[in-house]
Chains A and B, each alone.
Chain A
Amino acid sequence: MKSFAPTFFAGMLFSLGLGISGMTRPTKVLGFLDLAGAWDPSLAFVMIGAIATYAVSFWFIRRRQAPIADTRFFLPAAAPIDRRLLLGATVFGVGWGLGGYCPGPAVASLAGGGHEVWLFFVAMLVGMAAFAAWERRREKAAAAQDSERPMRSKQED
């Protein structure tokens, strides 16, 4: 497919950025998150550099009818803040603060870090699969409840 190369290059550029900024070093990430030690605020500048760059390019790119190699833009629709978002972010933060890896740097470190990043990565996949299974079960339960409701009302009559 003709879009493989630019998409691959996007991932590579992103990865180089993670490595140059220090995000692929758990000692540095934990140095940023840990306020009780010698606090290292430099990682805040990663976000500033990334947001400044993306905010400008986003403004230009969104003026296009469609992306170069696809039919349309796939952007999440605006939605209210809900419990799932806050709970998920909290759980993610605990994992980040314990291990010093978030998903991007973990993938970027697979070919460069020690063996612990592979433990983290595989466990992360298990966590994601567990979520997918939990979500499927919830969806099924919700569907079953919907189909039960008319029956129950019939019995009451």
Chain B
Amino acid sequence: MIDWFYAILGGVLIGGGSSLLLLFKGRVFGVSGVIGGVLRPRQGDVQWRLAVLSGLVVGGAILRMTSVGAFDASYPRPAVVAVVAGLLVGFGTRLGNGCTSGHGVCGISRFSVRSIAATLVFVLSGMLTATVVTLVTRGGTP
């Protein structure tokens, strides 16, 4: 029950951060797109991206110093899975033009049909993947 409260509170902060970026710089808070623009830089279009990314990192450092338990004690998958997952997330988010923040939050809030479709697809694809992984590994270890 308390998890739901923290989820909504966190969501409000996420929406608030996205709103600030829109208010000041007129940009969508889409993290994959923000990083993609740093990897393929255009003049005058990099500094705000670095500001957003450093804010994200510093926010994480602050979380680490608090006792909200924002991070897991250990990663639940083998390290090699993190590498494979990273490759897929990197390629997929650029091909699909966005991730959970850009499509899931900012896009849906603007009633973008593309973002609604993308969010449905990646949530379903993520659920299918995570569920299959559990079923397969559960079957493998009696």
Contact = CB atoms under 8 A, between A and B. Distances in A.
Given A11-B55, A46-B14, A104 B88 contact: no
Given A88-B94, A103-B35, A21 B6 contact: yes
Interface string B1-40: 0011011111111111111111111111101100110011
A93 B84 contact: no
Interface residues of A, number: 112
Contacts of B16: 13, 17, 53, 57
Contacts of A123: 82-87, 90
B121 A93 contact: yes
A149 B124 CA distance: 42
A144 interface: no
Contacts of A14: 13-14, 17-18, 29, 52, 55-56, 59, 101
A69 B22 CA distance: 10
A142 interface: no
Contacts of A35: 127, 130-131
A141 interface: no
B60 A126 contact: no
A55 interface: yes
A97 B128 contact: yes
A110 B26 contact: no
A102 B100 contact: yes
B130 A19 contact: no
B20 A10 contact: yes
B140 interface: no
Given A45-B11, A128-B91, A12 B125 contact: no
A34 B86 contact: no
A34 B130 contact: yes
Nearest to B54: A8
B105 to A, nearest CB: 5
A10 B84 contact: no
B77 to A, nearest CB: 7
A104 B31 contact: yes
Contacts of A126: 86-87, 90
Interface of B: 3-4, 6-29, 31-32, 35-36, 39-40, 47-48, 51-64, 68-72, 74-77, 79, 81-97, 99-101, 103-110, 112-114, 117-119, 121-131, 133-135, 138
Pairs of residues from A and B, 7 with the lowest C-beta to C-beta distance, nearest first? A88-B96, A11-B55, A127-B90, A49-B11, A21-B10, A15-B59, A99-B85
27 contacts: A11-B55, A14-B52, A17-B13, A19-B59, A20-B63, A21-B6, A45-B8, A49-B11, A54-B18, A76-B112, A89-B117, A90-B125, A91-B92, A92-B122, A96-B125, A101-B85, A104-B56, A109-B60, A112-B60, A112-B64, A116-B79, A119-B86, A121-B86, A124-B35, A125-B39, A126-B86, A128-B36
